[in-house]
A and B are shown apart, each in its own frame.
Chain A
Amino acid sequence: MKQIILKRLSMLVLVLVGVTMLTFFLSHVIPGDPARMMVGQRATEETLQEVRRQLGLDQPVWVQYFTYIQGLFAGDLGTSIRTQQPVSDDLLTFFPATLELALLAFVIAILFGVPIGILSAVKKDTAWDHAGRLFSIAGVSTPVFWSGLVGILIFYKFLDWLPSSGRLDLSVPPPLKITGLYLLDSLLTGNWAAFKNSLLHLLLPSFTLAFAQLAIVTRQVRASMLEVLGQEYIRTALANGISGPVLLFRYALRNALIPTITVVGLSFGSLLGGAVVTETIFSWPGMGKYVVDSIAFLDFPAIMGFTFVISIGYVLINLLVDLTYYALNPEMKE
């Protein structure tokens, strides 16, 4: 157990080096001349050289990489060309909105995905099962941007039940900032108007984002439930007169959930990727929309800062998932 954790941690260091090398390579080596991009085409050669010296671009590549790493340790992700603000400040401003959206989508995916998966497995090869399988294939086949658009058409344009953009109506002031998550902050401060309004704004984007995730969870729960239900200890339990919910939840589900945790955790990355698209569609002021707006400006510090932060988050989540897996799996105990 200890060895595994140590091995995972040493892997983590390696991966972090890899991530920084890749983002450095993509942001500093490939895109031609950042100094030229900053000063524009009409600047004189002298200005160009001056900016180049200021940016450290006249140094050898490995020195530049070292400076880059030093900056990263100090929380410096560079300055955005578009907003003229430090990228780290920008990302910090937009982070809570993304976190709120991703967390809710995550909860929705599990809340719906696990029961549908169980139902599909228990009623294998019935109409329920076929519907469940079709649903999960539809989920992974639907482009996130399209399900978002269809959601807006139905629930905003035709039914007019839900808002289609932003985190709050313009008439509703945001709740006092504690965590930056509007839902939580308004709950903590007892601001019911803001709570209700932000929940309404969250529904469409979070369900859109959860849809693909839901399919992956359903598929995994079904597969591992089927495997567990076919095992001998379940038959023994049945023979001993244990059945119904006790058998299903105490005996089968607990074991079926172990591989599910891994898959759910690993697919959190696609949720982060999906957030980029979802935020764009719903004008959700998070990091995803920030990076898409930056792409239009070819704002490399912003794009790479986002890539870096998201990748580090992804790596850490994966580590957490693995450790949970080891902790929960009794076979790993010795």
Chain B
Amino acid sequence: MSAEVHTSTVTRTVNPFWYTCRKNPLMLAGIVVLVIILLLSLFAPLISSYEPTKINIKDRFAPPSAEHWFGTDEVGRDIFTRILYGARLSLGVGVAVVLGAGLIGTVIGSISGYFGGRIDQIIMRLMDMILAFPSLVLAMAVAATLGPNLQNAMLAIAIIKIPVYVRLARAETLSLREKLYVKAAVTFGIKPWRIITRHIIPNAISPVIIQVTLDIGDAILLVATLGFLGLGAQPPTPEWGAMISVGWKHLLDYWWYPTFPGFALFLASCAFNLIGDGVRDILDPKANR
């Protein structure tokens, strides 16, 4: 009897997840939407009987109906199915780009902060140059130069995202470098590379995580925007931005074509932004809500 009471109090007090969610319902909403999108894209083959790239000219531009929930496109592909498969690409690419940029940026930033001096000067001026460009314009220029495809678009977006992480990691490293345990490690003759990877980066990671969650929504939009401009994934790839880049030309006659992929994009980016805001509130209590 007493044991039962005990366990129930324990579960009520130590479940930080539910506590956070109750305090921040918007973050919970973001998580729910994201989980739904992930499940839908994961089980796409079970949910839809259509194939994302199968052409069916007979059914072109069919309006939304029981067979085609979101209608069909100019060659009769089911738009709902393409959105489900597109989620894998759009979300996957967005997350991958930000994680990549976060990782590279953190390593560069901690090297810059740890060694200081000329290396630091060169790296930071280089980052200032990248930040001097409006981000979308630079991403466009890089993607256009490298050639329009998804990999190059990812690379372009990673390049414009890196400087923020370099700055964050550098600032953290500058203060960590003065910590006693780092100084002790130096006196023990431990190699700089090991100090950076073992002692600096693990302790500098918290602001990086906040920035990563805040950036994913934006990265998803950037990938789609480059796709829309014809600089990202190319049709017939079921990428949301690429779908809209073909679909918006048919907007006035077949409104469903660009509207639904755009809505999916909005939902996904919104979900990540809500979660990002929540994560910042948890990890950085000082920041204004």
Please give the residue numbers on chain A whose beta carbons come within 8 Å of chain B beta carbons, in ascending order: 11, 14-15, 18-19, 21-23, 26-27, 30-31, 130, 133-134, 137-138, 140-146, 149-150, 152-153, 156-157, 222-223, 226-227, 269-270, 272-274, 276-277, 280-281, 291-292, 295-296, 298, 300, 303-304, 306-307, 310-311, 314-315, 318
Contact = CB atoms under 8 A, between A and B. Distances in A.
Given A307-B141, A311-B134, A153 B259 contact: yes
A307 B137 contact: yes
A146 B134 contact: no
Given A18-B125, A138-B270, A295-B144, A143 B134 contact: no
B269 A143 contact: yes
Contact of A291 (B140, B225, B262): B140
A270 B263 contact: no
Contacts of B269: 141-143
Interface in B112-145: 125-126, 128-129, 132-138, 140-142, 144-145
A225 to B, nearest CB: 10
B148 to A, nearest CB: 8
Chain B interface size, under 10 / 10 to 19 / 20 to 34 / 35 or more: 35 or more
Given A30-B146, A137-B273, A143-B221, A269 B141 contact: no
B228 A145 contact: yes
Contacts of A23: 141
B229 interface: yes
Given A30-B146, A149-B262, A11 B128 contact: yes
Interface stretch (B61-69, B203-211, B250-258): B250-258
B228 A277 contact: yes
Given A149-B258, A223-B288, A269 B145 contact: no
A19 B266 CA distance: 33
B229 A303 contact: no
A171 B187 CA distance: 81
A143 B289 CA distance: 24
Interface in B209-233: 217-218, 221, 224-225, 228-231
A152 B145 contact: no
B248 interface: yes
A26 B141 CA distance: 8
A14 B125 contact: yes
DSSP class of B's interface residues: helix, strand, loop or mixed? Answer: helix
Contact of B129 (A19, A142, A153): A19
A285 B132 CA distance: 26
A276 B133 contact: no
Nearest to A227: B288
Contacts of B144: 295, 298, 300, 303
Contact of B141 (A130, A272, A296, A303): A303
Contacts of A272: 134, 137
Contact of B259 (A26, A150, A311): A150
10 pairs of A and B residues whose beta carbons are closest in the complex: A273-B136, A18-B129, A146-B262, A269-B134, A141-B270, A141-B269, A223-B288, A15-B132, A307-B141, A26-B145
A269 B136 CA distance: 9
B134 A314 contact: yes
Contact of B262 (A26, A137, A150, A300): A150
A102 to B, nearest CB: 12
B149 to A, nearest CB: 13
B225 A277 contact: yes
B277 interface: yes
Interface string B253-287: 00100110011011001100110010000000000
A313 B252 CA distance: 36
Contacts of A143: 221, 224-225, 228, 241, 244, 262, 265-266, 269
A226 B286 CA distance: 13
Contacts of A11: 128
Contacts of B224: 143
A141 B259 contact: no
A146 B263 contact: yes
Contacts of A226: 288
Given A143-B265, A227-B288, A307-B137, A152 B231 contact: no
B229 A292 contact: yes
Contacts of A296: 230
A310 to B, nearest CB: 5
B182 interface: no
Nearest to A304: B141
Given A150-B259, A273-B134, A137 B141 contact: no
A14 B133 contact: no
A167 to B, nearest CB: 19
Contacts of B136: 270, 273-274, 276
B26 interface: yes
Given A134-B26, A276-B140, A18 B132 contact: yes
A249 B146 CA distance: 51
Contacts of B277: 137
A241 B52 CA distance: 67
B274 A137 contact: yes
A272 B146 CA distance: 22
Contacts of B273: 137, 140-141
Given A149-B248, A157-B252, A311 B132 contact: yes
Nearest to A25: B145
Contacts of A156: 252
A276 B136 CA distance: 9
A35 B154 CA distance: 28
30 contacts: A14-B129, A15-B132, A18-B132, A22-B133, A130-B26, A137-B273, A138-B270, A140-B218, A140-B273, A141-B221, A141-B273, A142-B269, A143-B224, A146-B259, A146-B266, A149-B244, A149-B262, A150-B259, A226-B288, A269-B134, A276-B136, A277-B229, A291-B140, A298-B144, A306-B137, A310-B134, A311-B133, A311-B134, A311-B137, A318-B132
